Amino acid sequence: MWLLVMFDLPVTQKAERKEAAEFRNYLLDLGFEMAQFSVYMRFFTSAKQIETCCQRICAALPKGGKVNIMQFTDKQYEKIISFYGQVRQPEKSSPDQFELF
């Protein structure tokens, strides 16, 4: 399964920018990779891992803004159509690795 975290956080004040940066860094510390700005994703091998990670993310949510967490399967991930500019990118493949915690 894949977990996708999408967010739109306020960054007009210095304290808000700091909080948004801390949230992005927290996602990176949890093993997420940036798919696009404010969109982070990570592969998990079990529903229990996803549940635990969602609890950690919920505990670290910034005060303002909007955060969406979505989960989807490997098959759905492989069907993502990606473009860089107007050039279609190769189809994605799911990772072959397992993570140990």
Read off the pLDDT of residues 45-98 as tens digits, 9 standing for 90 and up: 999 999 999 999 999 999 999 999 999 998 888 888 888 888 888 877 766 655
Domains of the chain: 2-88 (3.30.70.240)
How far apart (Å, rounded) are the C-alpha atoms in residues 94 and 74?
6
Instruction: Write down the pLDDT at residue 88.
Output: 86
Read off the pLDDT of residues 25-37 as tens digits, 9 standing for 90 and up: 999 999 999 999 9
- Extract the annotated binding site for Mg(2+): 8
- Extract the annotated binding site: 8
Gap between the terminal Cα atoms of the chain = 16
Instruction: Write down the pLDDT at residue 89.
Output: 83
Q: Is the predicted pLDDT of residue 101 greater than 60, yes or no?
A: no
Instruction: Write down the pLDDT at residue 44.
Output: 94
Can you give the three-state secondary structure of 11-70, one letter per residue? CCCHHHHHHHHHHHHHHHHCCCEEEECCEEEEECCCHHHHHHHHHHHHHCCCCCCEEEEE
- Who has greater pLDDT, 99 or 27? 27
Instruction: Write down the pLDDT at residue 61.
Output: 95
